Each structure stands twice: as structure tokens, then as C-alpha cells.
Structure 1
Amino acid sequence: MGTAERRGTPGEDLGGRPTERRGPGGDRGRWETAGGRGERATERGGGQAGSAYRPLWIEEEARRRRMPDPVRTAAVRAVLIISVTLILAMVAFLCTMAETWLAFPMVLSSIAGTVVATWGALDVWVTRQVWNQRNGVVSAPSSTARALRRERRKSRRQAKSATRAQERIRRRGAAGQLSHS
């Protein structure tokens, strides 16, 4: 539809019929009536008949779980430290190339920054390990750890029921009963 044909009110052409509107991202095939209610329609401009409005993106499930808060803060801190260290190293290199007096202090500071950046990266790793130890790792249903826990629970229940049975037998023997009455 050319610009000369779009003189009516938005949502209607001159004949009072609904006109084509472009959706987000320039998609064709979405039109609105004068009442403003959006409906799906086929393309008008000689394209494929029957194509419906396509969304701009499709939401998918996250592949991984979100990182725990302490690990995420350590990771953000490490990224900031590493980026500052890279900037210091670049400035040190440029100062060395320009042969300015600032070159030596910048080289020293970039060496110190490298040490701190290494500490930051190790901090992320240690924080993650500590969090996993304290809060446990989510195990899959087929995990061997889960099967071992199930077996331990079963053996504990059996041991408990055996001790209870022994206690009942002892109590009955102390009362002098030989059978239920």
C-alpha cells in the first residue's frame, strides 16, 4: 500500500475497511479495526495468504539455573576487577610506547592489578565451592547419591523397627505375659 492510499484515519482506509498495520519489528499480517482491537489476518500486499502475525521472539526455558547470590556478586566483582586491570595494562602499554614518565607507575599498577584479578577469579571459584558444600547440589533423579541416601534411610528404618520390636518383647517378658489376651 503506497503513501497516497493512507489518507484516512489510523486503522481505516477511505472505504471504512480495516487497514494493514505493521507489527513490532516490521512484520506484516497484523491489522487493527477502528475499535483498536488487534486481530490476526492474512497479508494484503500480495504475499503469502494465510500467514499469521509472528512474534518478535519466542521465550524459551533457561538452560541453566540462576547462580546463587553470593557467587553472582563474586563474579561481578571479578569481572569489574579484571576489566580495570585490562585498562591499566593498555594504558601502561601506551605510556611505554609514548615514552612518558607515567609508564613505570602504570606497569607497576597493572602488575598489582593482575594479582588482584587472579584473587578475584579464585574468589568466584571458592565461593561457588563453599555454596555447593553448604547448600548441596541438586541431584538428578538418576543420581547415585540419591540412591545411596535412599538405601541408608531404608536400613535406618529397618534398624529402628527391629529395636522397637526388641523393646516390645522385653516389656512383655517383664509383665509375665506369654501371649496377647
Structure 2
Amino acid sequence: MGSDTLMGTAERRGAPRAGGVQVTGHRDPGVTDHDIPAAEAETRTREADVPATEVGRGIREQQYYRPLWVEEPARRRRLPDPVRTAAVRAVLLIAVTLIQAMVAFLCTLAGSWLAFPMVISSVVSTIVATWGALDVWVTRQVWNQRNGVVSMPSSTARALRRERRRARRQARAAARAQGRIRRRGGAGQLSHS
């Protein structure tokens, strides 16, 4: 075996070379160092003599900072609090109902005495889960009508806004009247001239 063959095997296996750098490149066993141009061979030897820490630092400098995640704006607005509460309640009720139905089915297959009570409770639970799902819809409709901007003549949101505006106007008028009385220095007394 020649020295070229040994060197090729060492490079293929990833043997450490001088300076602590490990060469893992595969090399064609038929190619010898004589086939590589002189400038390229010199560059390879220089790269092999560079310590591993400097090579790692160079790679680190080339990499740019990339955040772990990119925040995107929400596609939909967050649900109002009462609606979200009703939705969470409905999801929990539906989950419990599905678990009860599965247990009832398995108890029936096993011929257990627990099958009958589980079937009865899963029927009741189904009714309650249906109510929970309807409650989400009703809560959403009520919230939209009271607080949402619904441009319908029957919307109570308009009437509520009108009442609020009227109350604000009256409060401002009362504050102005109090200010006028204080400026006159009468401390709330009317003059009888």
C-alpha cells in the first residue's frame, strides 16, 4: 500500500489532521495529489492548518441573527369575554360528553354493570352539551346587538348609544351651570333684585 492510499483512507474516515481540524471530505482513491493543481493543493493545506476555533468563529460571523418565531398580526379579532367564556364552557361539555359516550360503548361491549348508568348519563350530557353550543350562539348574538355596530333599525346598540350621548350632554350642561354659579360668587344662592 502506498502513502496516497493510506492518506485517502484517513480522509474518508474523518481522521484528525495537524492543527486539530478534522477532514471529512470523500476523496476519489484514483486521484493522487499529483493530479491537483499546485495553487489548489496549497489552499487545502492552509485550510487544514487553521485551528478549529477560528473556522467555527468564521462560520458564526457569516450567520445572521434569526428570531425563533415571527409574530404575525391576528387574522381575526379576539372574541369578546362573555362569548369566549361560553365557548370554553361548551368545548369542555362536549369533551366530557364524548368521553362518557366512549366509556358507555366500551362498558356495553364488555358487558359491565356500568353500561346502563353510563348510557343514561351520556344522554343527559348530550342534552347539556347541545345547550352549551346554543349558549355560545345566543351569547354572541346578544353581545353583537348590545355592543356591536349593527346597522339595523332594530338594533338596540343605537338606542343605548343615544341614551349615553344624552346623559353626557346633561352632565356637561349641569357642570356648566355649576361653573356659572361659582363664578358669580353666590355659592348657590340666587339674588332677589
- Which is strand-richer, 1 or 2? 1
Correspondence for 1:110 among 119, 122, 128: 122
8 Å Cα contact 2:144/2:150 also seen in 1? no
Alignment correspondent of 1:68: 80
- 1 CA distance for matches of 2:100 and 2:129? 12
The CA deviation at 1:61 is: 0.5
Cα distance per residue 1:113-142 (max 9 Å; x no partner): 000000000000000000000001388xxx
8 Å Cα contact 2:104/2:119 also seen in 1? yes
- 2 CA distance for matches of 1:71 and 1:136? 13
Alignment correspondent of 1:90: 102
Cα distance per residue 1:89-109 (max 9 Å; x no partner): 000000000011110110000
The CA deviation at 1:19 is: 4.4
- 2 CA distance for matches of 1:15 and 1:89? 62
Which runs of 4 or more aligned residues in structure 1 lie more than 3 Å from their structure 2 counterparts after TM superposition?
Answer: 13-21
8 Å Cα contact 2:89/2:132 also seen in 1? yes
Higher radius of gyration, 1 or 2? 2
Name the TM-score, length of structure 1 as normaliser: 0.51
Greater RCO, CA 8 A, separation 6+ = 2
Opposite residue 62 of structure 2, the aligned amino acid is: T
The CA deviation at 1:53 is: 3.1
- Which is helix-richer, 1 or 2? 2
Structure 1 stretches of 5 or more lacking a match? 6-12, 22-28, 32-40, 44-51, 140-148, 150-181
Identity across the alignment (%): 70
Alignment correspondent of 1:59: 71
**What root-mean-square deviation, in Å, do the aligned CA atoms of Structure 1 and Structure 2 show?**
3.2
- 2 CA distance for matches of 1:15 and 1:119? 67
Name the TM-score, length of structure 2 as normaliser: 0.48
Structure 2 stretches of 5 or more lacking a match? 1-19, 22-49, 152-157, 159-193
